[in-house]
Structure 1
């Protein structure tokens, strides 16, 4: 795995979590600019998904198993978009809380992906 990509994705996810957490603290729902931030984080997760699949296709193997690695890759990719759809359904501060939580979850998934690969 690319360590730099994992770190950038984790930091960006935590920044999104802080930003949406601040909006929730101010009793605001997610706004358009939050969705732009979610798109950036999702784009980074997509790049990581593609890089991970390419590395597997080249014959590289994660230390803890290919199946669990692919499952974590897919979960990391789906985490923020799922929260984005939930925040659209919940147009209160709790929508912002949901996105903030997904940012924290994505950062944790990134650390776990690093561990699974053999970091």
Structure 2
């Protein structure tokens, strides 16, 4: 797995979490700019999924097994979009809190993905 991509996803997810956490602190719901940030983080997670599939197809193996590895990759891909979808139904500060929590979950999933790959 590409360590640089894992770090990039983790850092952007934590930046998104801080940004949405600050919006929640200021009593603001998620805005269009937050959704653009979520799209950037989701695009990086999608790139990570593609790289993961390519690496396994090329013969590399995850230390803890491919099924767990792909499960975490799909979970990482869906964490932020699911939080963004939930924030649309809660148009208060708690929508921003939801996105912030989803981004933190993504950062934790990235650490676990690194461990599963054998890092």
State if a TM-score over 0.5 links the two structures.
Answer: yes
Q: 1:66, 1:89 → 2: CA distance?
A: 35
User: Equivalent residues in 2 for 1:1-119 (5 A)?
Assistant: 1-119=1-119
Unpaired segments of 5 or more residues in structure 2? none
CA offset at residue 40 of structure 1? Answer: 0.2
Number of matched residues? 119
CA offset at residue 77 of structure 1? Answer: 0.1
The TM-score, its normalising length taken from structure 1, stands at: 0.99
Ranges of 4+ aligned residues in structure 1 off by more than 3 Å: none
Q: 1:68, 1:45 → 2: CA distance?
A: 16
Aligned CA-pair RMSD: 0.4
Unpaired segments of 5 or more residues in structure 1? none
Q: 1:98, 1:63 → 2: CA distance?
A: 32
The TM-score, its normalising length taken from structure 2, stands at: 0.99
